[in-house]
Amino acid sequence: MEQQMLKKRSCSIDHLDPLDTMRLFVSATLFAAAASTKEEYLIFQDDFNSGFDLSVWKHDITLGGNGNREFQVYVNSRNNSYVKDGKLHLRATLTDEAYGRDSIEHGVMDLWGTSPYSSCSSPQFTGCRKEANGFDILPPVQSARVQTMESFSFKYGRVEVKTKLPQGDWLWPGIWMMAKDNRYGPWPSSGELDIMESRGNGPMYTDDKGDPIGNNRFSACFHFGPAWNKDGYPLAVNDTKALPNNRSYGNEFHTFGFYWDDEEMYAYVDTPDQIVTRVVDYGKKSFWDIGIEAKAWNASDSYNNFQDGPINAPFDQEMYLIMNVAVGGTSIAKGFLDSGYFPDDRGGKPWHTNDSYPAANFYHQKEKWFPSWTQGGVRSADMSAMQIDSVKVWGIRGLTTFTESKNPIQQYDASSIDTIHTTNNEHLIFQDTFDQPTLDLSKWQHEISMTGSSTASFMHMTTGENAYVKDGQLVLHATLNDLVYSLDNSTIDLWGDTPATQCTSNFNHGCLQTGTASTILPPVISAMLRTEKSFSFRYGRVELRAKLPRGQWLRPVFRLLPKYDSYGEWPQSGEIVLVDGTPSAFQSRVQYGPFNVSHGPNVISSLDDDDVHLFGLYWDEDELYTYVDSRDNVVTRIPKFGKRSLWDPQWGDNDTSPWTGQPDQAPFDQLFYLSVGLRVGGTDGFYPDDNTPGKPWNDTAIDHKKTFLAAKDSWYPTWAGQGASLEIQDISVWATSEASRWAYHGAFELSPEKEANKLLFSDDFTTLEMRHWKPEITMRPHGEFQVYVNHRQTGYVRNHTLVLQPTLSEDIIGKWSLTQGYIDMWGTDLPSKCTAAAAGGCGHLSTPWDMSPPIHSASFRTAETFTWRYGRLEVKATLPRGDWLLPRIQLVPLTAAGWFDVVVAHGNTGSSKIYTGSCNSSVSCDVRENDIEAQSTHTYGIVWNESTTIVYLDSPATVLWQGETPDSLKHEVYLVVQAAVGGVSELPHYTFDKYSGKPWDTTSKAQPHTQFYAAKSQWWPSWANRSLDDGHTVSIDSALKIHSVQVWSVPGTQWRKHRLVGDPDVTDAVVQVKPSSSTTNPASIDNQHDGIGLKDAFTSSENQVAVDLSDQNTSHYNALWFAVVTDDGVGLKDAFTSTENQVPVDLSDQNTSHYNALWFAVVTATSLMTLLTLFILIKVGAKMLRRRDYTTIPDRV
């Protein structure tokens, strides 16, 4: 399994057995492409003349060697990726330049990070944290890999990258594409398209035949196949001929191109008629058949993941772009197939592929190769970088699909200001007055970690009761850890098993810790919130109105952090802290500098009272300062901001600055997001050891948390009462100048539906639509015996049915892997990443007593695609037959604990007994049992609102469960369908204790799942496909079959279709927002009515049943919230048809005392008159409208 996710196998053909009669390529010398008659149009372009846009190009951050045991660590640093002279440079540098040689050989590299854009992107192959151990050194080289996974992907078209390749021994540049959704499973099942790979060695570098293989040649290839060790790339690979006269692709710019439609696919250089690699039978013969005929794999021991796709599967899905410069490596696992992309014993290669420590051998001989990178200098020169002049993608009219999701950036427009009613030219672009009953999680995201937010504070942050809204205020409160008496021997696992509980930073073991006698667990629980996924801005004014806590060692903090880390990790991309500390001594500071060096104004101030104060920031192109209570009371200011570079010469030459060639405001010329929290203590020097009376810990001591807790009697009493909480009244952001920019990153306000029976979500499974369903990738949730994977053998669509079919693990990973080796589920890219790391869900060391999960199965969810609160769900399904099978259909809250089991069954009875009910935790459920016919097909329905929930079978006449709506269903929920197996849960509807012959217990030496597999002969006959009787094929009767899913609204339903990674952000782009009075509240109407209010959720024929049920429960009231018209000015809702997916609701004006400014950006191909009418209305309307809420989010293609 460790190799199952392997990616980026080299395209070299130097060491492959001759396959000339089968190799399906035609080189440029043998093939000339016919001129295309298909119309092309430009869909993506970046010429880097405007700099390096990290909202388009995201860095991969990992030290895992990408499965090839490469020698670099990929980082987000402007030393390794930068724009110079209008060209993007991707450059390899020595790691010891940043860390020193001693750190390479004896240090620890922790890439987990605390900032989303500088955090590890691929934990697989221990890619996020490593401790040097003897010759097993840290990666000796830093480099860069950038990709468009989250910003741009396309299916069919032409891509061209104009670039000059790097010069330097053992450099390995690449331009390639990967599948965005992994529709056919993990690599290589979903395909890989390598447009260009080459070596940085010079033209004199040759193979064992004397043929040049340096940077005067390159190769292109396509990867596909049923498993990591059954890759068909040898059938679709070719190298170019060497450039003549010692010319090099490192000295000249060339265009590396790739053309791809449903009938043709080929890579070329410079012009489309100079083809490098082409699959002749593409579009005429399936890739499964191509591999079988060429004996790349055998049908008898392989699964055809492509069988449900078209003939060109897996290359019928959107792909995204990747560009990188790797270094060295061994191409693939030690001792496997060949001697690597760089052949052994050629060109003075300073390592061998089969070396035990190849990276150490490479590094310790750097005097042999590093001069080739430096051009006579002491550092890597520009010539050792891959220099990209431009990247362009053309679509094919009528054929191409593409997703471009660069965040829409809003711009300040002074002409939209209503100058009659305002005193300054400022736009209100973000505000939270906390006047709702709960925290608005469309604006704020919880941080969940034990990192102390990089300050080594003595708390861990959760989504629990430490951050809440009360009396119109956001309250952040610190409490003692419930484990306070066992912090030296307990374990805290924050990895989480649902999106609501996912750990946000594992830096410094922030997600999983076990206490010891000296290094106890964090003794305090607190909260930190941020807008990283919802809002960011550049240049403006920020104000926080709050009362700071008085408790000892409490540190309230409000700060701005960079959204994209455009200049590298902290502090290279800067940080602005408006307040950090207590009223008696708080800091306001601006931090910036090179790697591991922080600089900037740092002012300590104090407040003499316990009143509410205003903490502000003013930031534009010419000024950056913080203030308290008024802008005249400046606390800290950057002198001459915007008039000179912030780079300090003492840090080094200007050419080492991450801000070289950037505006003088850098790094404070990029989008920043808001972060607010309550820290406790810390070892970052905020409380100096030599100047803090009564401080009970030493920053450098290993037992600092222990000594802090030991002094609890001195500081804990000061936390008593509400005065120990951070109480925030409001937070506001204004755009202040034409240079201001802001973006809303896909979090949306929800407006209640007023109508019932509106179809919100539907899938009848004509195909497996990955924009509806996210495969879960994790092992042994609830202590069960399966591993959930994205594999078409376990989850697929057949005959308009989603089939979830448990499969023997040995059929997918091999029998050997069951009892030895490490099962690595972490993944190397987003589509293949583990979805739940709690309780070892992403990795497992297999032994004979504790084997890997013996079953592979499937679980699909809508958490990333569709969520809703209150409504009606119907799932038509057939439950499976088979001993110890545990099918489930669940609703899980997106932001809260618990879940609701719509139906759970046991395969032992042919699923004739079903269980329905609510679970608050892993030990507490309210469940009802019902009988149905074994293996029958039914519609399982649930309808609920704020007060009452009803679960029914086929129609509301057959009620399975009815009661008060549980807390878990009062939040946004998502749907989960899954086929589990066995387990050790003690929940009465999950346990199998009632059945005789259960082949596992918890008392034996062997783990329960190991006992289960050892008893295969007992349960396998109930799973087996009896017509084949081959010992490993599972019957379709043992699969959970989902035939259709529909979700309808009830009055008061709130719902959203989420922005998928790579899908466009939907923002308030069409509207500008003007400042509003802080004294006004949103207008609303609270309508209450008797009964459960669910009758409108059903069709007319079902209404009487709902009325009867309503009569049984009249003691509850249901509050329905409607949007209210408070301004009867311009009625722009009529500009939209009733069938539009984005429907403006009636206006809910939060500020009736002022006129509102509305700016619409309208693009329509059907009504120029509508556009003209809107323009006239906006220009001459006597009244202007505030921005409006949207009830739904548009579907994405």
Q: Are strands 786-788 and 855-857 parallel, antiparallel or unpaired?
A: parallel
**CA gap 52, 967 in Å, rounded:** 46
Question: Which token pair is 822?
Answer: 């490490």
Residue 1187 has pLDDT above 70, yes or no: no
**CA gap 695, 672 in Å, rounded:** 34
Mean pLDDT of the 880-888 span: 97
Q: Can you tell me whether residue 91 is helix, strand or coil?
A: strand
CB neighbour burial string for 23-37, b if at least 16 within 10 angstroms, e if fewer = bbbbebeeeebeeee
Radius of gyration of the chain (CA): 31
Residue 255 has pLDDT above 70, yes or no: yes
CB neighbour burial string for 1054-1083, b if at least 16 within 10 angstroms, e if fewer = bbbbbbbbbbbbbbbbbbbbbbbeeeeeeb
Helix H or strand E encompassing 1020: helix 1016-1023
pLDDT of amino acid 746: 60
Q: Which residues contact 157 (CB under 8 A, 6 or more apart)?
A: 40, 43, 259, 260, 261, 393, 394, 395, 396, 400, 402
Helical segments of 752-888, H only? 810-813
**∠ CA(435), CA(439), CA(445), 5° rounding?**
140
pLDDT of amino acid 242: 83
pLDDT of amino acid 604: 75
pLDDT of amino acid 1188: 22
Residue 419 has pLDDT above 80, yes or no: no
pLDDT band at 1189 (very low <50, low <70, confident <90, very high): very low
Residue 617 has pLDDT above 80, yes or no: yes
pLDDT band at 597 (very low <50, low <70, confident <90, very high): low
Is residue 542 within 8 Å of residue 674, measured between CB atoms?
yes
Q: Can you tell me whether residue 110 is helix, strand or coil?
A: strand
Is residue 975 within 8 Å of residue 819, measured between CB atoms?
no
Q: Residue 1002: is it exposed, middle or buried by C-beta count within 10 angstroms (0-12/13-18/19+)?
A: exposed
CB neighbour burial string for 1152-1162, b if at least 16 within 10 angstroms, e if fewer = eebbbbbbbee
**CA gap 128, 328 in Å, rounded:** 19
Q: Which residues contact 228 (CB under 8 A, 6 or more apart)?
A: 3, 4, 5, 6, 186, 187, 188
**∠ CA(193), CA(198), CA(201), 5° rounding?**
165
pLDDT of amino acid 1182: 29
User: Tell me: the pLDDT tens digits for 391-416?
Assistant: 999 999 989 988 877 656 667 665 55
User: Tell me: the pLDDT tens digits for 941-984?
Assistant: 999 999 999 999 999 999 999 999 999 999 889 999 999 999 99
User: Tell me: the pLDDT tens digits for 979-999?
Assistant: 999 999 989 999 999 999 999
Helical segments of 3-140, H only? 96-99, 101-106
**CA gap 92, 383 in Å, rounded:** 11
Is residue 1132 within 8 Å of residue 1146, measured between CB atoms?
no
pLDDT of amino acid 1147: 26
pLDDT of amino acid 653: 73
**CA gap 599, 585 in Å, rounded:** 20
Mean pLDDT lowest among 404-413, 616-625, 642-651, 818-827: 404-413
**CA gap 229, 213 in Å, rounded:** 25
User: Tell me: the pLDDT tens digits for 546-588?
Assistant: 999 989 999 999 999 999 999 998 899 999 999 998 888 888 9
Mean pLDDT lowest among 674-678, 758-762, 1102-1106: 1102-1106
Is residue 968 within 8 Å of residue 900, measured between CB atoms?
yes
pLDDT of amino acid 585: 83
User: Tell me: the pLDDT tens digits for 1148-1164?
Assistant: 333 333 333 322 233 33
**∠ CA(196), CA(200), CA(202), 5° rounding?**
120
Handedness of CA 967, 969, 970, 972 (dihedral sign): positive
pLDDT of amino acid 862: 96
pLDDT of amino acid 424: 62
Nearest C-alpha neighbor of 575 from the set 28, 27, 118, 1111 = 118
Handedness of CA 999, 1005, 1009, 1013 (dihedral sign): negative
pLDDT of amino acid 413: 65
Mean pLDDT lowest among 303-312, 688-697, 1074-1083: 1074-1083
pLDDT band at 780 (very low <50, low <70, confident <90, very high): confident
pLDDT band at 1132 (very low <50, low <70, confident <90, very high): very low
pLDDT of amino acid 1109: 41
Nearest C-alpha neighbor of 1182 from the set 1155, 1143, 1162 = 1155
Longest CA pairwise span in the chain (Å):
92
pLDDT, the chain, mean = 82
The DSSP secondary-structure symbol of 812 reads H
Q: Residue 573: is it exposed, middle or buried by C-beta count within 10 angstroms (0-12/13-18/19+)?
A: buried
Domains and CATH numbers, the chain: 45-373+381-396 (2.60.120.200), 430-445+530-648+660-708+719-743 (2.60.120.560), 758-1056 (2.60.120.200)
Residue 1146 has pLDDT above 80, yes or no: no
**CA gap 1087, 519 in Å, rounded:** 55
The DSSP secondary-structure symbol of 612 reads -
Residue 463 has pLDDT above 90, yes or no: no
Q: Residue 736: is it exposed, middle or buried by C-beta count within 10 angstroms (0-12/13-18/19+)?
A: buried
Residue 1058 has pLDDT above 50, yes or no: yes
**∠ CA(692), CA(698), CA(699), 5° rounding?**
100
Is residue 798 within 8 Å of residue 457, measured between CB atoms?
no
User: Tell me: the pLDDT tens digits for 636-682?
Assistant: 999 999 999 998 877 877 667 889 889 999 999 999 999 999 999 99
What DSSP string describes 530-543?
E-TTTEEEESEEEE
pLDDT of amino acid 1177: 34
Q: What is the 3-state secondary structure (H, E, C) of 445-458?
A: EECCECCCCCCCCC
Place of tokens 């999960």: 853
pLDDT of amino acid 1165: 35
Nearest C-alpha neighbor of 1071 from the set 587, 548, 416 = 416
The DSSP secondary-structure symbol of 704 reads H
pLDDT band at 9 (very low <50, low <70, confident <90, very high): low
Q: What is the 3-state secondary structure (H, E, C) of 899-935?
A: EEEEEEECHHHCCCEEEEEEEEECCEEEEEEEECCCC
Is residue 86 within 8 Å of residue 389, measured between CB atoms?
yes
What DSSP string describes 340-351?
-SS-TTSTT-SS
User: Tell me: the pLDDT tens digits for 106-163?
Assistant: 999 999 888 888 888 888 778 899 999 989 999 999 999 999 998 999 999 999 999 9
Higher-pLDDT residue of 31 and 965 is 965
pLDDT of amino acid 193: 95
Question: Which token pair is 325?
Answer: 């410069």
pLDDT band at 71 (very low <50, low <70, confident <90, very high): very high
User: Tell me: the pLDDT tens digits for 679-719?
Assistant: 999 998 889 998 888 999 999 999 999 999 999 999 999 99
**CA gap 988, 994 in Å, rounded:** 9
Helical segments of 304-456, H only? 358-363, 366-369, 371-374
